[in-house]
Amino acid sequence: MATARVSRRARSSGPVSAELIEQEAVRLFADKTYPVIGMRDIGDAVGLLPGSLYVHISGKEDLLLRIVEKGIQSYVDAISAAADSDAPAAERLRAAFHAHFAVLQRSQDQTRVAFHQWTYLSPDNQRRVIAMRQAYEDLFAGIMRDGIRNGEFRQLRSPRVIVLAFIGMLNNAAEWFSPHGQLSAEEIATELADSVLGGIQAR
């Protein structure tokens, strides 16, 4: 049986579970980054001795991998609905931006970890994440490709460069977005989508 440490967080959060450990790890990694946080920090956060964490998880890197994969998959799932619709490409791209910000609004810490700390993983685990990141990119690339093919978007010298540019903009939003800011997540998504579409739509 895991040896519990008396802690205010553990008492208020209920029984320790893998989900609680993951939740606290997200918070700690987002706040101080993965290399700075040790198993003792995670144990303190949930009220367990470091060694007792292994009852619930296999290790710190496994924890980071789970956080990263869940984080990216949440975006892939949300954006797929927009990317796979029969709507015009411009509407699909706008919907994809809104889907991205809807996920960001409810999981900003996890997004910061998923998109910016996956490079701390081992090479084998990085390859798994790169495949997921490619799937995320492919959703936007498909919308761009369809828009160019049907004449909604202008012919671009390098569509992938444009896709990577606005994906970078979306991913970086986790660093500056505030749910208490002047603009809501929906308003920001609209502003950014309008800016991107203004540059790529056929005249």
pLDDT (tens, 9 = 90+) of the chain, 203 residues, equals 333 333 434 434 467 888 999 999 999 999 999 999 999 999 999 998 888 888 888 889 999 999 999 999 999 999 999 999 999 999 999 999 999 999 999 999 999 999 999 999 999 999 999 999 999 999 999 999 999 999 999 999 999 999 999 999 999 999 999 989 999 999 999 999 999 999 999 97
pLDDT at 7: 41
Could you give the CA distance from residue 110 to residue 121 in angstroms, rounded to a whole number?
16
Q: What is the pTM of this model?
A: 0.86
| All domains of the chain in start order, with CATH | 8-57 (1.10.10.60), 65-200 (1.10.357.10)
Could you give the CA distance from residue 56 to residue 69 in angstroms, rounded to a whole number?
18
The token pair at 158 is: 């390098």
DSSP state of 151: T
Helices 159-176 and 123-149 cross at an angle (nearest 10°) of: 120
pLDDT at 57: 86
- Cα 14 → chain centroid: 27
For residue 101, give the amino acid letter. F
pLDDT at 14: 61
pLDDT at 4: 39
